[in-house]
Amino acid sequence: MNIYLQELRNYRRSTIIWIVSLCLIVFLFMSIYTSFALDVSSAKHLLEAYPPTVLAALNLKIEIFFTIYGFFAYLMTFAWLTAAIQAMNLGVSVLSKEVAGKTADFLLTKPITRVRMLSEKLAAVFTLIVITNIFFLATSLLSAVAVSKGDLHIKLFFLIAVTMFFVQVFFLALGFMLGAIIPKVKTVVAVTLPVVFTFFILSAFGGILKIDYINYLTPFKYFDPLYIYQHSAYEPKYLLVLLGVVAACVGTSYASYMKKDIEAAS
Amino acid sequence: MNVIETKKLTKYYGKSRGIENVDLTVEQGEIFGFIGPNGAGKSTTIRTLLGLIHPTSGSATIFGKDIKEFGPEIREEVGYLPSEVFYYDNMRAIDLLRYSASFYKKPKKDIEKRINELAKLLDLDLKKKIDDLSYGNKKKVGIIQGLLHEPKLIILDEPTGGLDPLMQQKFFQLLRDENKRGATILFSSHILGEVQKMCDRVAIIKDGTIIKTEKISDLLENNTKRFKVETVKEIDEKVFSSINGVSDTVRVGREINFLFRGHLDDVTKKIAELDLLNLEVTEPDLEEIFLHYYK
């Protein structure tokens, strides 16, 4: 438990900053919905004039965009991106900082197994993600209730908002694996940003090129707002893929870290 | 009982050698020196024992338990001080030490008391942030960190760097006290003086292999003597260098210097034939013996 608590303490400040940023984004964005909803017809007209490829690249579903769900789902694209960076930063740094800060010697000469060390660290960053999402959900829900006219379908809205959690879990696991595999990570964001943006750009291309299998490659495509809107559920095939990727990443992290030689500092 | 026992312990980093067939036995209650130059394999051996790196082949036990199987159990009773210490910069010394303490089964109260005792002895301000500590003070945190749980085995990897002579003495005294209390100590160093001062036995490692394990006293005795012979007339150094057991022969003018290991008569007979101006026979220090092994 001590490593777990220590890690929670370590990331307390940065997590608060992430939470505040995410909540602020959703709050500000949702607060313009009222004025946006007032002038739907002209905006709809404007958007319809856009080429479909542009809309696809923007992940903008015109069918539902003018509902609060579509509006919120559009915002989620950016929340995903931001949250993905937060999650992957956590995943990468929680292991790699011990090597970069040369503190791995301190930790691993303690009477603990590496499995315990990995598990406590993973549990800690996972907890931070859960906390982030609780705040994000609460803020989203409250803002949505405030701007909707009492006809908010809570479950549907909830389903859309929780997608951020799944995206974060994906990137957390991926980051954790990279942190375990890469011998020495000097700067965390130098790993995080290229990876997250690659996935993001991939999702934009998938939308434009209409190549279906690309959708499997990037978690930014796992949660189609239109599908969620129509079915009030997630697409099971993507959930399975996500679960598989997460399991594979975590498994690889453990396997790799167990075999790892901790080289002398200096 | 042997506290540490390694059998043909070998570590390769890819194709490059770390250590090869290291057989090391450290007995209960002794202060065991481990000497060799940088890169000889001291740290590799120690890090393997601590479970930081995995051996390529061979085996090792600490307290009779296999290091691969019982790592956590073994480390419960091991204190480790590396040559360079690195801690979490944003923590205060006391937080770091408490965090360290939280890993051990020993009662919190006892450990806390010991932390304060040690800090007082070493003159360390526990409230300071790690980041603000000087190199020497960080080292003190390292010493406390290694000793706070009263380990049965203390492993020191070139521990004295960064400590001023006075602090070094305090540290050595601390180690002697720990040793009297029953702790076994593995002391790795490339500074022979400190090993000579502290240790009962010593293993010399070179290019990843242990070339000799001996009692310090034997190593110093062993009939190895340093001779300094000054003659009236300049003579050929071959007079001595041809004798079996003579090494390191250096001639400066009429003075000949050499190390001799063997039957003293062989040399004294030769000396008796000479017209002597001066003769000095001294105990070589460990450094000289050591250099000898590294030829």
Contacts by residues B268-271 (CB-CB < 8 Å, ≥ 24 positions apart):
B270/B239, B270/B240, B270/B243, B271/B229
| pTM for this prediction | 0.85
Contact between B82 and A113 using a beta-carbon 8 Å cutoff = no
Interatomic CA distance for residues B72 and B85, integer angstroms: 21
Residue A32 is classified by DSSP as T
pLDDT at position A99, please? 86
Q: Is B208 exposed, middle or buried (0-12, 13-18, 19+ CB in 10 A)?
A: buried
pLDDT at position A184, please? 86
Neighbours of B59 (CB within 10 A): 13
User: Cα B84 to chain center, whole Å?
Assistant: 15
Residues 6+ apart with CB under 8 A from B234: B253, B254
Contact between B104 and A109 using a beta-carbon 8 Å cutoff = no
pLDDT at position B179, please? 95
Nearest one of A46, A43, A122 to A87, comparing CA atoms: A122
B29 near B179, Cβ under 8 Å?
yes
Neighbours of A112 (CB within 10 A): 18
Size of interface A-B (CB pairs under 8 A): 66
User: What is the dihedral sign for C-alpha A194, A195, A196, A198?
Assistant: positive
pLDDT at position B293, please? 61
- Nearest CB to A105: which of B74, B82, B105? B82
Task: Please report, rounded to a whole number, the percentage of residues in chain A having pLDDT higher than 70.
Answer: 96
Tell me which chain B residues have a C-beta less than 8 angstroms from the C-beta of A108. 50-52
Give the residue carrying structure tokens 């990843």: B208
- Nearest CB to B103: which of A101, A111, A261? A111
Question: How far is A113 from chain B, CA to nearest CA, in Å?
Answer: 6
Contact between A101 and B86 using a beta-carbon 8 Å cutoff = yes
pLDDT tens-digit map of A93-134: 999 998 888 899 999 999 999 999 999 999 999 999 999 999
Question: How far is A13 from chain B, CA to nearest CA, in Å?
Answer: 12
Give the residue carrying structure tokens 């969620």: A228
Mean pLDDT of chain A: 88
- Nearest CB to A262: which of B53, B102, B104? B53
Angle at B161 between CA B157 and CA B166, to 5 degrees: 120
Interatomic CA distance for residues B203 and B35, integer angstroms: 6
Residues 6+ apart with CB under 8 A from B207: B17, B40, B41
pLDDT tens-digit map of B40-86: 899 999 999 999 999 999 999 999 999 999 999 999 999 999 888 88
pLDDT at position B292, please? 67
| Distance in angstroms between the alpha carbons of the first and the last residue of chain A | 30
Regions of chain B short of the pLDDT cut 70: 220-223, 285-287, 289-295
CA distance readout (Å), B183 to A133, B2, B151, B265 = 50, 13, 7, 43
Three-class SS of B51-94: CCCCCCEEEEEECCEECCCCHHHHHCCEEEECCCCCCCCCCEHH
Interatomic CA distance for residues A75 and A163, integer angstroms: 12
Please report which confidence band the pLDDT of residue A24 belongs to, taking 50, 70 and 90 as the band edges.
very high
Q: Mean pLDDT across the stretch A134-139?
A: 95
Nearest one of B211, B209, B222, B214 to B262, comparing CA atoms: B222
Nearest one of A176, A156, A180 to A228, comparing CA atoms: A156
Contact between A109 and B80 using a beta-carbon 8 Å cutoff = yes
Best probe of the B interface among A97, A102, A105, A263, by most B CBs < 10 A, is A105
Interatomic CA distance for residues A50 and A48, integer angstroms: 5
Contact between B50 and A6 using a beta-carbon 8 Å cutoff = no
Q: In what order do the strands lie in the sheet with B78-81?
A: B78-81, B153-157, B184-189, B31-35, B201-206, B209-215
Interatomic CA distance for residues B1 and B29, integer angstroms: 9
Which residue of chain A has the CA closest to B79? A109
Nearest one of A260, A257, A265, A261 to A120, comparing CA atoms: A257
B246 near B223, Cβ under 8 Å?
no
Tokens standing for residue A125: 């960053």
Contact between A112 and B145 using a beta-carbon 8 Å cutoff = no
pLDDT tens-digit map of A246-256: 999 999 999 99
Residue A266 is classified by DSSP as -
B6 near B45, Cβ under 8 Å?
yes
- Nearest CB to B84: which of A108, A109, A265? A265
Write the ipTM. Answer: 0.84
Task: Please report, rounded to a whole number, the percentage of residues in chain A having pLDDT higher than 90.
Answer: 53
- Nearest CB to B103: which of A110, A259, A265? A110
Question: How far is A104 from chain B, CA to nearest CA, in Å?
Answer: 9
Contact between B50 and A264 using a beta-carbon 8 Å cutoff = no
Q: A24-38, A188-202, B35-49 — which is least confidently predicted?
A: A24-38
Residues 6+ apart with CB under 8 A from B31: B175, B179, B184, B185, B187, B198, B199, B200
pLDDT at position A100, please? 84
Which residue of chain B has the CA closest to A113? B72
